């Protein structure tokens, strides 16, 4: 009997996301998108053309076998689908939610040429979220007697730890904070990435035997040399993430009420300032909040401000919305929730009110000039275009510099920006030290950080066990 | 390896005065790596804020560290209620750069809570064999902390000033500091305390061309250079007290900027202690 050929449901519209009403969700920290149901997933899977040469896969930085896992969804083999993803991506619940799919997998999907691409991210997060139901406990190889230390418990450290633990290594993760997850925990807010998901991933690693040492600042509490010589570690993976935030360097930037996004988000997410005074850490609740930047961090800060009760949240950006590096979904959600976007505006100074807190921002209009090195058109100030807007909380989200601890921890070569230099396997100039994630690439993405952790794990394994 | 993110056991509690306490905490790895001038951050329990305290003492052989704190608000009030054998949920450290002071004849100037930070520095300088003069300042006798501890150090001079004259000289720390400068008794100063005190000590030293370092105490959140909360303007540059400091060349510090930033949460701090006094689990 000839095999029944799969027939995609050509022409069906993309299955819509299940989102909470914008006006309601913007008042609390509940998840914005509740995710696909099984029926949604199957309907969406039926749209995929099952391409012979799947372009979507080329768009994924870690090469998730997309048509294969989608096929398993169609077969309702949920466990098989999850396993297919997990072979390439250890954190589907996270990546499905936070990957910039429009530039990656979905951006390349052939269906996107004429209509809407397959909702690969939605499918992926849904499978990831089913892990408790259908996931199999991963098998670990017998202990091989080698000890690896990982510094940093962000996505890069987590990925490296998971890979190595399964290969039978004795893995310890050292984390500066009192809890794990890195940016996934202190940066990306609950409404976009529930902390229970991050916790589940960390718990999963603990079940694999990975040890976590919190409150442990590498470079201050210990150095790489001590780990190797006194504690018998055989290799070290540095995944300390990005570091010091950048500032605008305009007058008044240090006024009370002017935050850098890292502080604003850490106070709110990690220290739960939105529950002050039940939780001790305060954060200033503004009526008129202005956020500077156009990336994911800026979107998260703006939407957090809404949830802290702001009446008006303005996102000021030097270029136009089209140039914003944030995920499209976040820009869309932010606007839907009421964040106003002020394009082509650059801050000149912050001015205090009578109470000493920031009360006004002076800005300047910009226009787009010639493309710069990044290929984006450079914003150029328009003379005599100054204007002022009221503001009682301002948040800057304009990027980060290199984390200074990498150098304190291990003697590794840095580039001129202070980022660690590695080869494509994640090796540093120190033969026992590997590195990856934001500390190597500069602020990037979760999936790239995770991919780097996996690559380094393979290289560490090869080096320590001497096998291919 | 005790610092597993589990709890940190209080081995010993010492009360120095009504509002000043010292805790000795089990933390072997920290004890091996602490230096004078470095600090730790405490999160007392699940709902607690992260607050910094300077290492007062440490013993690598016995595996403990000590810090001294003065009760000024919610967290320090809560801490003061803990007893020997109790646990602190999280302690992170050492953080910040160790204090390095040049010169052989050093004046250590401390005021208010700053005396808790000045004490380990003065002790270290004494251990280094330097001639150390200490100037202690407070609003009144009751707020002058750690007098006996300072008095026990082999100091060259010990001056005390109180605003109301209830102990020592009536006036401010710059009076004895100016005398030390004028009599050519010091070649370096170190100051830690309230901003006006640090600012005027700096001016005094500048007049006499004596170099002066200040240990800055802005509000902190992570203490690892990630959040930018502790930023201070030093020599026209934005520095992070938690990783670049806490010590800086006092002549370069923008004091008004620091004072504004320290006052960012006055209203919330008052609300927090009020909430705590009304009902708080850790009070029981
Ligand atoms: C607000 C925000 C939103 C973002 N949104 C997205 C998004 O939507 N999609 C996306 O793909 N990417 C997003 N990113 C970027 C992404 O989160 C990062 O690229 C990614 O987390 C980098 O992973 P990492 O493991 O390299 O570092 P991190 O996640 O930064 O983790 C580093 C960890 O190391 C710890 N550490 C640092 N120094 C030390 C030390 N000395 N000793 C011990 N531990 C140390 C830190 O505490 C931290 O836990 C966002 C980032 C932010 C800040
Ligand atoms: C590097 C450094 C070292 C310090 N060392 C000591 C020490 O050895 N002994 C000691 O008694 N005190 C020390 N302090 C001050 C101590 O951190 C504060 O007294 C403590 O945070 C007060 O908390 P609270 O909740 O009791 O009071 P609150 O009512 O919350 O605050 C009282 C005042 O303390 C300061 N403060 C509050 N929260 C923070 C925070 N998260 N970070 C920094 N400052 C804050 C503010 O100036 C505030 O106005 C140090 C501060 C710094 C920055
Ligand atoms: S990991 Fe990210 S880029 Fe890759 S398939 Fe999943 S959502 Fe797409
Ligand atoms: S490119 Fe699109 S249609 Fe083709 S396999 Fe990938 S997801 Fe399916
Ligand atoms: S406390 Fe966050 S950068 Fe210093």
Tens of pLDDT, residues A423-437: 999 999 999 999 999
Mean pLDDT to the nearest integer, B269-282: 75
Q: Which of A217, A257, A271 sits opposite B49 (nearest CB)?
A: A271
The confidence band for B1, taking pLDDT boundaries of 50, 70 and 90, is very low
Which chain B residues are within 8 Å of A217, Cβ to Cβ? 92-95, 224
The answer to whether residue B3 scores a pLDDT higher than 50 is no
The rounded mean pLDDT for chain B is: 90
CB A177 within 8 A of CB A202: no
Q: Could you tell me where the DSSP H helices lie in A135-194?
A: 155-166, 183-186
Tens of pLDDT, residues A148-157: 999 999 999 9
Mean pLDDT to the nearest integer, A71-92: 93
Task: Give residues 181 to 240 of B whose Cβ lies within 8 Å of A.
Answer: 221-222, 224-229, 231, 233, 238, 240
> Tokens representing B187?
């070649």
The answer to whether residue A440 scores a pLDDT higher than 60 is yes
Q: Which atom of ligand 5 is nearest to the CA of A244?
A: 3
The answer to whether residue A134 scores a pLDDT higher than 90 is no
The answer to whether residue A99 scores a pLDDT higher than 80 is yes
pLDDT for res B2: 36
- Nearest alpha carbon, ligand 4 atom 8: A48
Is the CB of A67 inside a 6 Å radius of any atom of ligand 4?
Answer: yes
CB atoms within 10 A of CB A383: 8
The confidence band for B222, taking pLDDT boundaries of 50, 70 and 90, is very high
The answer to whether residue B109 scores a pLDDT higher than 60 is yes
Mean pLDDT to the nearest integer, B83-104: 92
The answer to whether residue A2 scores a pLDDT higher than 80 is no
CB B200 within 8 A of CB B226: no
The confidence band for A467, taking pLDDT boundaries of 50, 70 and 90, is low
- Tell me, in angstroms, the distance from the centre of ligand 1 to residue A443's CA: 8
Q: Which chain B residue's Cα is nearest to A268?
A: B221
Lowest mean pLDDT among A128-137, A360-369, B115-124: A128-137
Distances B252 to A126, B207, B233, B235 between C-alpha atoms, Å:
55, 15, 8, 5
Ligand 5 is surrounded, with C-beta below 6 A, by B 220-223, 225-230, 240, 242
The confidence band for A1, taking pLDDT boundaries of 50, 70 and 90, is low
The confidence band for B282, taking pLDDT boundaries of 50, 70 and 90, is low
Mutation target among B224, B232, B245 for the A interface, most CBs of A within 10 A:
B224
Mean pLDDT to the nearest integer, A380-404: 92
- Tell me, in angstroms, the distance from the centre of ligand 1 to residue A210's CA: 20
The rounded mean pLDDT for chain A is: 92
- pTM across the whole model: 0.92
The sign of the dihedral angle between the CA atoms of A409, A410, A411, A416 is negative
Lowest mean pLDDT among A81-90, A111-120, A135-144, A342-351: A135-144
The answer to whether residue A3 scores a pLDDT higher than 80 is no
Give the strand pairing for A377-381 and A358-371: antiparallel
The confidence band for B129, taking pLDDT boundaries of 50, 70 and 90, is very high
Tens of pLDDT, residues A267-308: 999 999 898 888 999 999 989 999 999 999 999 999 999 999
pLDDT for res B281: 53
Please report the ipTM that was assigned to this predicted complex: 0.91
> Tokens representing B245?
């400091």
pLDDT for res A6: 86
> What is the distance in angstroms between the Cα of B91 and the nearest Cα belonging to chain A?
6
Contact check, Cβ <8 Å, B93/A356: no
pLDDT for res A53: 93
CB A401 within 8 A of CB B244: no
Q: Which chain B residue's Cα is nearest to A276?
A: B272
Between residues B3 and A382, the one the model is more confident about: A382
Write the CB contacts of B123 (distance below 8 Å, at least 6 apart in sequence): B36, B153
pLDDT for res A333: 93
pLDDT for res B5: 43
Ligand 2 is surrounded, with C-beta below 6 A, by B 39, 49-54, 67-70, 72-76, 113, 116-117, 217, 219-220, 246, 262, 269, 273
pLDDT for res A421: 92
Task: Give residues 26 to 45 of B whose Cβ lies within 8 Å of A.
Answer: 29-30, 33, 38, 43
Tens of pLDDT, residues A168-226: 999 999 999 999 999 999 999 999 999 999 999 899 899 889 999 999 999 999 999 99
Tens of pLDDT, residues B132-152: 999 999 988 888 888 988 999
Residue B94 preceded by cis peptide, ω within 30: yes
The answer to whether residue B54 scores a pLDDT higher than 90 is yes
CB A320 within 8 A of CB A368: yes
- Tell me, in angstroms, the distance from the centre of ligand 3 to residue A126's CA: 13
> Tokens representing A222?
């210990």
pLDDT for res B284: 43
């Amino acid at each position: 009997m000839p095999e029944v050929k799969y027939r995609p449901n050509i022409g069906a519209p993309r299955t819509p996301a299940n989102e909470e009403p914008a006006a309601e969700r913007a008042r609390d920290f509940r998840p914005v998108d509740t995710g696909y149901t099984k029926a949604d997933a199957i309907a969406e899977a039926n749209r995929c053309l099952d391409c012979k040469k799947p372009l979507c896969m080329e768009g994924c930085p870690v090469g998730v076998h997309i048509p294969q896992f989608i096929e398993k969804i169609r077969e309702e083999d949920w466990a098989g689908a999850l396993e297919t993803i997990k072979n390439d991506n250890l954190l589907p619940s996270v990546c499905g939610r936070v990957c910039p799919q429009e530039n990656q997998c979905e951006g390349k999907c052939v269906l996107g040429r004429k209509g809407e691409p397959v909702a690969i991210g939605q499918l992926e997060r849904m499978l990831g979220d089913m892990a408790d139901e259908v996931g199999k406990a991963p098998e670990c190889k017998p202990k091989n007697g080698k000890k690896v230390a990982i510094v940093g418990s962000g996505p890069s450290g987590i990925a490296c730890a998971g890979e190595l633990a399964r290969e039978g290594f004795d893995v310890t993760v050292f984390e500066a904070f009192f809890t794990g997850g890195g940016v996934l925990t202190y940066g990306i807010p609950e409404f976009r990435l529930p902390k229970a998901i991050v916790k589940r991933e960390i718990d999963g690693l603990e079940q694999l035997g990975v040890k976590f040492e919190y409150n442990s600042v590498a470079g201050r509490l210990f150095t790489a040399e001590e780990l190797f010589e006194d504690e018998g570690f055989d290799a070290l993976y540095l995944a300390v993430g990005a570091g010091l935030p950048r500032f605008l360097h305009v007058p008044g930037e240090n006024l009370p009420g002017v935050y850098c996004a890292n502080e604003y988000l850490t106070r709110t997410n990690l220290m739960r300032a939105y529950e002050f005074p039940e939780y001790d850490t305060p954060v200033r609740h503004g009526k008129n909040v202005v956020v500077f930047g156009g990336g994911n961090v800026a979107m998260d800060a703006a939407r957090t401000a809404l949830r802290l009760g702001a009446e008006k949240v303005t996102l000021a950006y030097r270029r136009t919305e089209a140039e914003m590096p944030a995920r499209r979904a976040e820009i869309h959600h932010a606007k839907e929730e009421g964040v106003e976007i002020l394009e082509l505006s650059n801050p000149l100074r912050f001015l205090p009110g009578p109470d000493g807190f920031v009360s006004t921002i002076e800005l300047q209009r910009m226009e787009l000039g010639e493309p710069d090195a990044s290929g984006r058109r450079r914003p150029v100030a328009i003379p005599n275009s100054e204007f002022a807007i009221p503001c009682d909380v301002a948040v800057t989200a304009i990027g980060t510099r290199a984390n200074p601890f990498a150098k304190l921890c291990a003697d590794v070569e840095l580039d001129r920006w202070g980022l660690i230099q590695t080869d494509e396997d994640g090796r540093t100039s120190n033969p026992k030290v590997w590195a990856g994630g934001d500390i190597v690439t500069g602020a990037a993405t979760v999936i790239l950080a995770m991919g780097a952790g996996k690559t380094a794990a393979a290289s560490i394994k090869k080096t320590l066990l001497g096998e291919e | 390896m005790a610092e597993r993110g589990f709890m940190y056991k209080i081995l010993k509690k010492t009360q120095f005065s009504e509002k000043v306490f010292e805790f000795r905490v089990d933390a072997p790895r920290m004890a091996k790596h602490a230096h004078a001038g470095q600090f730790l951050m405490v999160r007392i329990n699940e709902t607690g804020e992260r607050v910094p305290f300077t290492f007062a003492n440490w013993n690598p052989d016995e595996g403990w560290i000590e810090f001294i704190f003065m009760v000024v608000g919610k967290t320090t009030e809560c801490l003061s209620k803990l007893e020997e054998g109790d646990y602190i949920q999280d302690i992170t450290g050492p953080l910040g750069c160790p204090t390095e002071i040049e010169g052989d004849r050093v004046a250590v100037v401390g005021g208010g809570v700053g005396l808790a930070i000045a004490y380990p520095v003065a002790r270290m300088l004494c251990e280094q064999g330097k001639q150390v003069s200490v100037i202690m300042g407070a609003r009144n006798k009751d707020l002058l902390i750690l007098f006996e501890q300072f008095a026990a150090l082999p100091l060259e001079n010990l001056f005390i000033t109180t605003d109301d004259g209830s102990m020592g000289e009536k006036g401010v720390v710059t009076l004895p500091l100016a005398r030390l400068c004028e009599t050519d008794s010091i070649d370096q100063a170190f100051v830690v305390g309230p901003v006006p005190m640090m600012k005027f000590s700096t001016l005094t030293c500048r007049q006499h061309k004596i170099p002066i370092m200040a240990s800055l105490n802005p509000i902190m959140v992570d203490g690892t250079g990630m959040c930018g909360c502790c930023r201070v303007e030093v020599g026209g540059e934005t520095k992070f007290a938690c990783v670049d400091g806490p010590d800086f060349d006092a002549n370069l510090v923008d004091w008004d900027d620091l004072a504004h930033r320290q006052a960012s949460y006055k209203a919330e701090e008052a609300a927090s202690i009020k909430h705590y006094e009304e009902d708080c689990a850790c009070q029981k």
